Amino acid sequence: MQQQAIDFNCAPEDFYSSENRVVISKENPKARAYLRLPFFCALTSFGNNIVASVDADIADFVSEYIKDKKIEDCFAPPNIFILNDELRKHGRQITFCAQRSLPDVNLIKPGSCDYELKILHPDEYSELYGKSEWSNAVGSGRRKHLDRTAVGAYDEEKLVGLVGSEESCESMWQMGIDVLPDYRGKGVAKALLAKLALEILNVGIVPFGGNRWANVRSLKTQLSCGFKPAWVEMMASSSDTI
């Protein structure tokens, strides 16, 4: 909540309110590195209310949009079509919807699978940048200066699963994972996520994960190794970038 307050230009206690809030978005050097601030329109919720961080040009509309509505109704059809129609008038569209998760330190524990797990540092996996099978774990390398510890699963010398982390901000690292198709359903993802999360927690950083609404497989994996849904967010971007 402290970090989301930095990102959304609000106070942490705003997320505890029973009333929805609208604030004007601003740049902040301590925001998560991959965010493009200021937001034109971004909505987030930890389950109590909605906080919307927006441009002044759409503040009145968003205030009315989230007024007296249930949280889930603001993040789903048909209401998001109404919001998107208004965004289009400003050259924007809804481009990102995700559920974020955090490890429950009372539940997360080391897991095991049939393959050797190895801790890797960025210089040990740099050749994987840009490879589609590892796109969630290490991406394209565009933000490789932020990449941190990873854990690989090996079938002898073959890399079959990889979970990587990125320093999103001072206190939190985001994790992403890939497992080769022939090795899915064998506990590899669960073992990888748990091991990396514990490694990150041991250095005093908060690991977090996420998944799109329909990625049931990802959510099940996170739940199975001690993660719990923590917050949701929805953001708009310029139509030209879609």
What's the pLDDT band for 212 if we cut at 50, 70, 90?
confident
Q: Are 155 and 164 in contact (CB under 8 A)?
A: no
pTM above 0.95, yes or no: no
Token pair, residue 197, equals 């999360």
pLDDT greater than 80 at residue 242: no
Q: What sign does the dihedral 113-119-125-130 (CA atoms) show?
A: positive
Mean pLDDT computed over every residue of the chain: 95
Condensed to tens digits (0 to 9), the pLDDT of residues 9-57 reads 999 999 999 999 999 999 999 999 999 999 999 999 999 999 999 999 9
Q: Helix or strand or coil: residue 15? A: helix
pLDDT greater than 90 at residue 188: yes
Token pair, residue 175, equals 């994790």
pLDDT greater than 90 at residue 214: no
Residue 26: the pLDDT is: 98
**Mean pLDDT, to the nearest integer, of 213-226?**
90
Condensed to tens digits (0 to 9), the pLDDT of residues 102-144 reads 999 999 999 889 999 999 999 999 999 999 999 999 988 889 9
**What is residue 23's DSSP assignment?**
E
Burial 179-209 (b: 16+ CB within 10 A, else e): bbeebeebbbbbbbbbbbbbbbeeeebbbbb
The separation between CA 119 and the C-alpha centre of its own chain, rounded to angstroms, equals: 22
The percent of the chain in helix, strand and coil, each rounded to the nearest 5, is: 35, 30, 35
With a CB cutoff of 8 Å and minimum separation 6, the contacts of 188 are 113, 115, 153, 160, 161, 179
Token pair, residue 35, equals 């965010």
Q: How many CB atoms lie within 10 A of CB 94?
A: 19
β-pair partners for 172: 206
| Residue bearing the bigger pLDDT, 142 or 85 | 85
Condensed to tens digits (0 to 9), the pLDDT of residues 65-77 reads 999 899 999 999 9
Token pair, residue 110, equals 């080391």
